[in-house]
Amino acid sequence: MDARRFPSFRLDGKVALVTGGSRGIGLAMACALAVHGANVVIASRKAVDLKKATEDVAGQGISLSWVQADVTDKESVQHMVNCVVEQHGRLDILVNNAGMNIRKPLIDIEEYDWNQVLDTNLKGIFLVGQAAAKQMIQQRSGKIINISSIFGGVGMPFQTSYAASKGGINQLTKVWASELAPYNINVNAIAPAYIRTPMTSAWLEDEERYRDIVKSTMLNRVGEPEDVAGPVVFLASDAANYITGHILYVDGGWTAK
Ligand code: NDP
């Protein structure tokens, strides 16, 4: 054993793209990557939110840049990846995070709802992953981190389209890991349980539901966006070089219970 060969958790000089980085889990992950040394670009649909997010975190000494993009639109996705590469010369880390949810009982789901969720959460992940992989294959290195959910593996009411999209993400994480391994590209997923963000805040306001969620969680609390920061830095770093095709549950023990 040679301790000098232990890999680093630092990300200095790496270039990262975080989709859905204007708020919630995406913004926390983007900040964590930047604090660990990466040059980070955040992307989402609303320029005004992206601008505000970068200004807010600048107050804490965190520097992010941004590009407007809609992950459901192939041209917009290619433009986003081109901007990152033009600005920084490469793309080392993709955090494929943009997502949404429409919670409804099975019998009430409209085709429009299904399409919205699947287009954003699954087609979006595919389009962004494909565009990033083309760049990473040229570089012969990269880290792709897809943001899944415990509902990719756990059955819960009212999550039909969301669970289908996240189950799909788990599968394409494994397929991409196998396909991209020869190019030194690691592909992993993070699967959080409930994290308090704009996506979940209204859902968590129901006191009975909130109590049930906390009761299902070994660590006895709902997660915060910062709880996903450590796992994403780890998977993006050289410390995770021998990990690929893995789904890392960040769930306070929910799925183990
Ligand atoms: P938020 O609603 O807080 O943030 C979602 C982000 O995605 C925003 O930046 C939003 O910006 C962006 N976004 C949505 N649609 C698109 C699109 N078509 N193109 C580009 N960007 C888009 O959600 P969370 O932070 O809670 O969730 C982030 C990820 O984590 C999602 O994939 C979610 O499924 C996953 N997750 C969340 C959990 C939770 O409990 N919060 C638990 C498990 C997983 P804009 O609308 O301006 O485009």
State the average pLDDT over residues 95-101: 98
Q: Is residue 127 part of a domain?
A: yes
Please indicate, yes or no, if residue 194 is contained in any of the structural domains. yes
Beta carbon of 73 within 6 Å of any ligand 1 atom: no
The atom number, within ligand 1, closest to the CA of 72 reads 18
Residue with the smallest CA separation from ligand 1 atom 46 is 45
Structure tokens at 156: 């819960």
Write out the residue range of the structural domain in which residue 19 sits: 9-250
**CB-ligand 1 contact for 149 (6 Å cutoff):** yes
Nearest ligand 1 atom, CA 98? 7
* 88, part of any domain: yes
- Specify the CATH number for the domain of residue 80: 3.40.50.720
3-state secondary structure of 64: strand
27 CA → ligand 1 middle, Å = 10
What's the pLDDT score for residue 121? 98
199 Cβ below 6 A of ligand 1: yes
pLDDT on residue 62? 98
Which is nearest to 153 in space by CA: 193, 213, 125? 193
Judge whether 77 lies within some domain: yes
93-96/142-147 β-pairing: parallel
pLDDT, one tens digit per residue, over 191-237 is: 999 999 999 999 999 999 999 999 999 999 999 999 999 999 999 99
Q: Domain for residue 255, yes or no? A: no
- Residue having the nearest C-alpha atom to atom 3 of ligand 1: 24
- Pocket lining: 252 vs ligand 1, CB cutoff 6 Å: no
- pLDDT tens figures, 110-148: 999 999 999 999 999 999 999 999 999 999 999 999 999
Active site residues: 162
Sheet of 142-147: strand order equals 64-68, 39-44, 15-19, 93-96, 142-147, 185-192, 247-250
C-alpha distances in Å from residue 116, one per residue of 4, 119, 240: 49, 5, 33
What is the model's pLDDT at position 168?
A: 98
- Mean of pLDDT over the chain: 98
45 in ligand 1 pocket by Cβ < 6 Å? yes
Nearest Cα to 247, choosing from 172, 197, 163? 172
For residue 4, pLDDT beyond 90: no
- 98 located within any domain: yes
Q: What pLDDT, in 10s, does the model give residues 50-82? A: 999 999 999 999 999 999 999 999 999 999 999
Q: Give the span between the Cα atoms of 10 and 13, in whole angstroms.
A: 9
Dist CA 6 CA 247 (whole Å) = 23
Residue 128, pLDDT score: 99
Residue 1 lies in a domain: no
Cα–ligand 1 centroid distance for 23 (angstroms): 8
Q: Could you report the per-residue pLDDT of 168-186, keeping only the tens digit for each?
A: 999 999 999 999 999 999 9
**Domains: count for the chain:** 1
What is the number of the ligand 1 atom nearest to the C-alpha of 22?
Answer: 9
On whether residue 44 sits in a domain, the answer given is: yes
Q: Tell me the best of 50, 51, 100, 205 to mutate to test the pocket of ligand 1, counting ligand atoms within 8 Å of each CB and taking the most.
A: 100
For ligand 1, whether the C-beta of 120 sits within 6 Å is yes
